[in-house]
Amino acid sequence: MMHDCTQLNEERGLSQLPVIVGMGGVNPAGRTSGHQGYRRTVLDALPQEEQARTLLGLAAMMRLARCQDDGSWRDANGQSLDEADIVERFHQHVLDHTLIRRIEDPRFTTDGIPANRQARLDIEAPLVFRIRRRQLPDSLPETWQVHEIDRRQVEVTVPPGHLDVMLPERRMAQVRAAGQLPQGFDPSRFYRSVHHPRGLSMTVFGASDCLGQSGLSWEELRERLDPDAIAVYAGNSIGQLDDEGWGGLLKSFVAGQRATSKQMPLGYGQMPADFLNAYVLGSVGATGAVQGACASFLYNLRQGVEDIANGRRRVVMVGTSDAPVTPEIIEGFRAMGALADDDSLKALDALTLLTDADYQRACRPFARNCGFTIAEASQFLMLMDDELALELGARILGSVPAVYTNADGWKRSISAPGIGNYLTLSKAVSLANQILGPDALRQRTFLHAHGTSTPKNRVTESHVLDRVAHAYGIDDWPVVAIKAFVGHSQGSAGGDQLVSALGSFAYGLLPGIPTLDAVADDVHDERLRFFSTPLSFQADAAFINAKGFGGNNATGLVLSPEATERLLTKRHDSAALERWKARQAVTLERATDYETHADKGHFQAVYRFGEGVLEGPELDVRADRIDIPGYGQPVSLSVDNPFGSIND
């Protein structure tokens, strides 16, 4: 019996195993569900049928072709096409307008970035100008003389002297490469988005994609679980800083614009979790967002993993959504010297002019490089304890036994390297050694490096990886650096790495580093294996590594579906696994149906604004439980007390 297996695990002192039962999101490679984004990164190594499927799905996502209700396809002009025509016609366009590329926002190309320049005018004769009354400053300089022309216009006379002004200008972008979502894809189109920051629209899409891919019914889960058995941990690294969020709020005064009522609340870094609870899942369980710079995804994942392992929660949605491709954020990182700007890229390859192909090669982990390439992404996972996953017949994509985090300790500067990553990776490898055994550790695991493409990272991270490999007797350890394809999505970077690892488990291919012409001379690679084209590799586990700004280090251990099933066999009896496999038929059918529709560009975001709203008076509050209308199970008030009683 399942209950007996769980009781036996408790007697052995075993924790619940956090298994991955759903994944969803979007990044510059494409959609996460169905491994579409992963397939884009190993495209040339896939069978022809899988290549065509990938290109067709991306063409639909980019609105180059549209599948009609009767199953026929048409292009944007209404011309009828078959699937083979679409793949042939749009093949190169899909390749050119996914992954890292020249920023397609016209502000970064021909128009220039709108800006103002401070100036002082020396006025030799009185300056006279006409202006609308409402455009006058609230507080006028004492020397200005204002004459009314009519109800709308006034004439202003400024006497000779000094006048401080802001002169509008257009500044040409110094950074023109970024990892952008596939051209033509707008996540806000799939639900009633009203001035939502891009990161929150990506959150709604990513979480909806995760639910669809899981093949599970969220309503059925809510019916059978105590609402407190569900949690959401989601956020990002720097909040929503585009014009609809804090970006527009902070520059509103100087830009002569009004702040809106939405910019302040929608800018918060935990808002992805808030949106999921309020509009996607309707969850009243635990919630939060852990910010850890570039390691934020893994920090949130750790929270969910520990909740499940310790029995505090049974289902957890974790993830991040970052949309930092804005002029101000890019300028901030450029001023730090962290980004691969145009001048640095030219100097790196002795070029006088950068082509589109050069921008596509901007990110070069562990090669001669000059800075990272910023990107946007949204990645979400649904975690579940192994007992519940077996009971439901969930589709198990892998498992996450643990995520480790450590700080750097004393530092020369907040951006300088430190020692924390040696600790996180070593702990993760030690756990893998205990779960899988030394032979599997050395022969059937690989590394998903942080791999930012900065000169400092290539030295410091490679030293961490190489030293740990030496400590555990690992030779020729494969290293994947997915940022070469999708760029650095800040807090979501670990999510990009993890879903890529799940793709490698499914297809047996590790993405190469296509921008790696040669490993840089200062990279420590005695025990590491770097490669530029996809590598055939059957893995039991992957290590997801993150070295975040400020000393936020994290490493997660992710087991493959096959290794997870072997571990489940040890934890549960064979009959339980047979029943699980039988129950999977319905789940897989739902998941396949969702992916088939998504490959045709048919997305339906879950967004339930104003549905089932409760404010308190509707609750039935008792001493042992709280009954909530619309939720199948009550919230139990039988809380654990590990501290004893003062009345004993």
**Sorting pLDDT into bands at 50, 70 and 90, what band is 13?**
low
- DSSP assignment of 271-299 equals HHHHHIIIIII---SEEE---BTBTHHHH
pLDDT at 259: 92
Assess whether pLDDT exceeds 60 at residue 154.
yes
Q: What is the helix (H) or strand (E) element at residue 81, kind and residue range?
A: strand 80-81
pTM of the model: 0.94
Token look-up 């036996």 returns: 8
In angstroms, the CA 272 to CA 344 distance is: 35
Assess whether pLDDT exceeds 50 at residue 2.
no
pLDDT at 217: 95
pLDDT at 72: 94
pLDDT at 14: 62
Residues whose CB is less than 8 angstroms from the CB of residue 387 and which lie 6 or more positions away in sequence, other chains included: 2, 5, 6, 16, 572
The one-character DSSP state at 136 is S
**Sorting pLDDT into bands at 50, 70 and 90, what band is 554?**
very high
**Sorting pLDDT into bands at 50, 70 and 90, what band is 111?**
confident
Among residues 196, 448, 488, 572, the one annotated as catalytic is 488
pLDDT at 255: 82
Are 319 and 25 a contacting pair, CB within 8 Å?
yes
Residues whose CB is less than 8 angstroms from the CB of residue 30 and which lie 6 or more positions away in sequence, other chains included: 36, 37, 39, 40, 54, 57, 58, 61, 98, 182
Known active-site residue 294 = yes
Assess whether pLDDT exceeds 50 at residue 1.
no
Tell me which of 8-17, 260-269, 330-339, 523-532 is least confident. 8-17
**606 CB-contact burial (10 Å; exposed 0-12 / middle 13-18 / buried 19+):** buried
pLDDT at 254: 83
Q: What is the helix (H) or strand (E) element at residue 593, kind and residue range?
A: helix 574-599
Assess whether pLDDT exceeds 60 at residue 540.
yes
In angstroms, the CA 427 to CA 433 distance is: 10
pLDDT at 157: 96
Residue type, 11: E
Say which residue, 12 or 52, is predicted with more confidence: 52
What does the pLDDT average to over 115-123?
Answer: 92
pLDDT at 257: 86
pLDDT at 647: 84
Of 585, 577, 398, nearest in space to 5 by CA: 577
Q: Chain-centre distance of CA 72, in angstroms?
A: 33
Average pLDDT of the chain to the nearest whole number: 94
* Phi and psi at residue 385, to the nearest 5°: -70, 150
Give whole-number Cα distances, 69 to 81, 252, 601, in Å: 14, 45, 12
Known active-site residue 97 = no
Residue type, 28: P
* Phi and psi at residue 356, to the nearest 5°: -60, -40
Instruction: Enter the CATH code of domain 195-388+402-571.
Output: 3.40.47.10
Assess whether pLDDT exceeds 90 at residue 6.
no
* Other beta carbons within 10 Å of 368: 17
Specify which residues 168 forms β-bridges with.
116
Q: What percent of the chain has pLDDT over 90?
A: 88
Among residues 294, 363, 370, 524, the one annotated as catalytic is 294
In angstroms, the CA 189 to CA 205 distance is: 10
pLDDT digits (tens, 9 = 90+) for 472-488: 999 999 999 999 999 99
Token look-up 């501290």 returns: 643
What is the phi-psi region of residue 155: left when phi exceeds 0, alpha when psi lies from -120 to 50, beta otherwise? Answer: beta
Are 298 and 84 a contacting pair, CB within 8 Å?
no
Assess whether pLDDT exceeds 80 at residue 8.
no
pLDDT digits (tens, 9 = 90+) for 350-399: 999 999 999 999 999 999 999 999 999 999 999 999 999 999 999 999 99
pLDDT digits (tens, 9 = 90+) for 168-216: 999 999 999 999 999 999 999 999 998 999 999 999 999 999 999 999 9
**1 CB-contact burial (10 Å; exposed 0-12 / middle 13-18 / buried 19+):** exposed
Assess whether pLDDT exceeds 60 at residue 11.
no
In angstroms, the CA 444 to CA 616 distance is: 53
Q: 317-356: b or e for each residue (b if 16 or more CB lie within 10 Å)?
A: bbbbbbbbbbbebbbebbeeebbbbbebbeebeeeeebee
pLDDT at 3: 46
Q: At what angle do helices 83-96 and 48-61 cross, to 10 degrees?
A: 70
What does the pLDDT average to over 389-410?
Answer: 97
Q: What is the helix (H) or strand (E) element at residue 594, kind and residue range?
A: helix 574-599
In angstroms, the CA 531 to CA 518 distance is: 9
pLDDT at 256: 83
Show me where the domains of the chain are located.
29-98, 108-171, 195-388+402-571
Among residues 448, 450, 524, 572, the one annotated as catalytic is 450
Are 495 and 319 a contacting pair, CB within 8 Å?
yes
Question: Coil, helix or strand for 575?
Answer: helix
Are 452 and 488 a contacting pair, CB within 8 Å?
yes
Known active-site residue 463 = no
Are 445 and 540 a contacting pair, CB within 8 Å?
yes
